[in-house]
């Protein structure tokens, strides 16, 4: 079975992080709800180095960015505008929070952000029905399409958010894995800092999904306090030992920065090679720009009625697991395929990365 369905880098824990976690195992106290001061400061430094000057007092850490995203839905309140397609959990979380996801297609050729041309209309319609609309979500770069929303789109959405009084939630968990060198990353937090929340974490860039650590950068103290009130009742604080190791990761020491860079390069090389093979077979495939995924549309091949049938045939006939595009609210044909860097090289991702970064396990 080749599982290309899950969003995991498939790398081992870096020895430097392993060591820091082990050293911190004696830290068994509950910590501050917002996260350990050392981690908040390190995360603030991480964003500040990326041209988003950040006050550590407005950083909130949680057990993964996923629970942070859910708590933010509750803290902001109201319906949420989502790009279509988008990561399945956003709409599922909206359902749990008792709000409505308002799906707005991405601009043609883009992914990860709703089309600004259509957002105002969708929000007006929902408001005319008496619904409150509170937020607009973008994923930069995107899961499932592997695309990075263009700077013009991000600027227009930031302006719209001001006009429509929406909070932008920018999920930037794949930010450090933008592998297309021509793609210029722009966070809406750089354009509309007063109304943008950024979420991120170490699950993708550092392959630490199982450690459950995420961070959020809040635009204001009132929203931070609403988030903390929810966090306090749900998770109390992230795991103390993990926060020690995460603070080290967010300081971006050379050995970890090199490894993230190697992972980014490797995902780019493999994503482009696999995309070319899909294209040669007749699929339409948006050029991958970042993150772990390819989103080929196999409809032009005309062999299967739905992406679900195609995904099932791949699993039953070839033992290959992928996600059908219908899981992301998309029309038939599309598949989300994880870029597995071990395949092209015929060796383990661990060995490949170790060679690239010359790390000593």
Q: Which residue is nearest to ligand PLP (CB)?
A: 64
Interface residues for ligand PLP in 91-130 (CB under 6 A)? none
Helix, strand and coil percent figures for the chain, each rounded to 5: 50, 15, 35
Non-local CB neighbours of 16 within 8 Å, separated by 6+ positions: 248, 253, 255, 256
Decide if residue 65 touches ligand PLP (CB under 6 A): yes
Question: Based on CB atoms, which residue is closest to ligand PLP, 185 or 304?
Answer: 185
Going from the C-alpha of 355 to that of each of 18, 262, 270, 343, 347, the distances in angstroms are 19, 10, 16, 16, 11
Beta strands of the chain (E only): which ranges?
Answer: 2-3, 59-62, 79-84, 101-105, 133-139, 167-171, 196-201, 214-217, 293-294, 320-321, 323-324, 335-338
Decide if residue 41 touches ligand PLP (CB under 6 A): no
Going from the C-alpha of 289 to that of each of 18, 28, 44, 85, the distances in angstroms are 30, 41, 26, 16
Decide if residue 64 touches ligand PLP (CB under 6 A): yes
How far apart CA 355 and CA 351 sit, in angstroms, is 6
Decide if residue 185 touches ligand PLP (CB under 6 A): no
Binding segment (CB under 6 A) for ligand PLP, from list 44-52, 62-70, 187-195, 330-338: 62-70
Q: Supply the minimum distance, in Å, between the C-beta of residue 143 and ligand PLP.
A: 4
Binding segment (CB under 6 A) for ligand PLP, from list 23-31, 64-72, 114-122, 275-283: 64-72
Q: Supply the minimum distance, in Å, between the C-beta of residue 188 and ligand PLP.
A: 15
Decide if residue 172 touches ligand PLP (CB under 6 A): no
The DSSP bridge partners found for residue 36 are: none
Decide if residue 66 touches ligand PLP (CB under 6 A): yes
Report whether the peptide linkage leading into residue 85 is cis, meaning its omega lies within 30 degrees of zero: yes
Decide if residue 201 touches ligand PLP (CB under 6 A): yes
Number of CB atoms found within 10 A of residue 209's CB:
17
Report whether the peptide linkage leading into residue 76 is cis, meaning its omega lies within 30 degrees of zero: no
Decide if residue 203 touches ligand PLP (CB under 6 A): yes
Q: Are residues 24 and 240 in contact, defined by beta-carbon separation less than 8 angstroms? A: yes
Q: What are the φ and ψ backbone dihedral angles of 181, each rounded to 5 degrees? A: -70, -20
In the numeric block, which tokens belong to residue 212?
A: 């459950």
Decide if residue 54 touches ligand PLP (CB under 6 A): no
Question: Based on CB atoms, which residue is closest to ligand PLP, 248 or 304?
Answer: 248
Decide if residue 209 touches ligand PLP (CB under 6 A): yes
Q: What are the φ and ψ backbone dihedral angles of 87, each rounded to 5 degrees? A: -50, 130
Q: Supply the minimum distance, in Å, between the C-beta of residue 227 and ligand PLP.
A: 15
Rg of the chain on CA atoms, in Å: 20
Question: Based on CB atoms, which residue is closest to ligand PLP, 138 or 285?
Answer: 138
Decide if residue 329 touches ligand PLP (CB under 6 A): no
Q: Supply the minimum distance, in Å, between the C-beta of residue 354 and ligand PLP.
A: 24
Q: Supply the minimum distance, in Å, between the C-beta of residue 83 and ligand PLP.
A: 11
Q: Supply the minimum distance, in Å, between the C-beta of residue 170 and ligand PLP.
A: 11
Binding segment (CB under 6 A) for ligand PLP, from list 59-67, 96-104, 147-155, 182-190: 59-67
Interface residues for ligand PLP in 232-291 (CB under 6 A)? none
What does the binding site for ligand PLP look like in residue numbers (CB under 6 A)? 7, 64-66, 87, 139, 143, 171, 173, 201, 203, 209, 214
């Amino acid at each position: 079975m080749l599982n290309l369905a899950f969003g995991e880098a498939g790398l081992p824990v870096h020895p430097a992080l392993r060591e820091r976690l082990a050293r911190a195992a004696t830290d068994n106290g509950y910590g501050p709800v917002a996260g350990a001061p050392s981690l908040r400061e390190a995360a603030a430094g991480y964003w500040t180095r990326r041209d988003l000057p950040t006050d550590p007092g407005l950083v909130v850490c949680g057990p993964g960015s996923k629970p942070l995203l859910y708590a933010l839905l509750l803290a902001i309140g109201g319906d949420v505008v989502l790009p279509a397609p988008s990561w399945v959990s956003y709409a599922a979380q909206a359902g749990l929070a008792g709000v409505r996801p308002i799906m707005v297609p991405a601009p043609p050729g883009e992914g990860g952000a709703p089309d600004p041309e259509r957002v105002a209309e969708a929000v007006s319609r929902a408001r005319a029905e008496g619904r409150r609309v509170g937020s607009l979500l973008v994923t930069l770069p995107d899961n499932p399409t592997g695309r990075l929303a263009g700077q013009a789109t991000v600027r227009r959405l930031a302006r719209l958010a001001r006009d429509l009084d929406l909070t932008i939630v920018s999920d930037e968990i794949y930010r450090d894995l933008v592998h297309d060198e021509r793609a210029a990353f722009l966070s809406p937090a750089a354009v509309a800092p007063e109304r943008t929340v950024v979420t991120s974490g170490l699950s993708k860039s550092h392959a630490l999904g199982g450690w459950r650590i995420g961070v959020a950068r809040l635009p204001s103290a009132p929203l931070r306090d609403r988030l903390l009130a929810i966090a306090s009742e749900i998770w109390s604080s992230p795991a103390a030992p993990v926060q020690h190791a995460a603070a080290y990761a967010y300081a971006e020491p050379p050995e970890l920065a090199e490894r993230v860079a190697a992972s980014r390069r490797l995902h780019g090389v493999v994503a482009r090679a696999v995309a070319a093979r899909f294209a040669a077979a007749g699929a339409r495939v948006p050029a991958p720009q970042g993150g772990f995924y390819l989103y080929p549309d196999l409809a032009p091949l005309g062999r299967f009625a739905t992406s679900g049938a195609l995904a099932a045939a791949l699993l039953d006939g070839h033992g290959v697991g992928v996600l059908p595009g219908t899981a992301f609210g998309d029309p038939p044909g599309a598949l989300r395929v994880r870029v597995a860097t071990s395949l092209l090289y015929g060796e383990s991702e661990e060995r490949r990365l170790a060679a690239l970064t010359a790390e000593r396990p």
